[in-house]
Amino acid sequence: MKKVSQQPQQPQQQKQQQQQQQQNKGDDNRLEEIYLRKEEIKEDIIIDKRKIIDLDQRNNLNFEALDNITTNKNGTSNKNGKLWIYTGDIFIQMKEASAKELIIQENDTIENEIMKLRLGLDDKEKQLKQLEKDYELERSKIFS
């Protein structure tokens, strides 16, 4: 009788083991998905921070140019009140007032872009913190 009672339990134990293995595979997949998403967000954060640094440097250069135009230290203006502006990959001769206006507009655009990036950065950092919590939770389920 012991043999008869053990035979039905063996398939039941095998089913339980299979279910446990399938659940573990699902947990492993979930853990992997969380990890990959976490790494993507980390890369996005690094890229956004680099963009902010680049934009800030450009903004500072524009402020220096404005200061230079205002004080006109180097005497870069010619008789007509025009100066040479380097934009993109070419030099353009512009009137001082137009050059100042162009630089101020560019600075406004740069500052708006920096603000957008910083707001997005805050959201990404919150997502990263949540994913780190989820990752630790899933990890503790698997390894405990």
Q: What Rg value do the Cα atoms of the chain yield, rounded? A: 31
**Neighbour tally for 80: CB within 10 Å:** 9
Tens of pLDDT, residue by residue over 24-39, are 666 678 889 999 999 9
Q: How confident is the model at residue 1 (pLDDT cuts 50, 70, 90)?
A: very low
**Domain holding 134: CATH number?**
1.10.287.370
127 closest CA partner among 46, 47, 40: 40
Contacts of 113 (CB under 8 A, 6+ apart): 55
Global pTM value: 0.71
Q: Is the dihedral of CA 133, 136, 138, 141 positive or negative?
A: negative
Tens of pLDDT, residue by residue over 64-88, are 989 988 887 555 556 677 888 887 7
Q: For the chain, how many structural domains are there in total?
A: 1
CA 64 to chain centre: 28
Domain that holds residue 81: 2-143
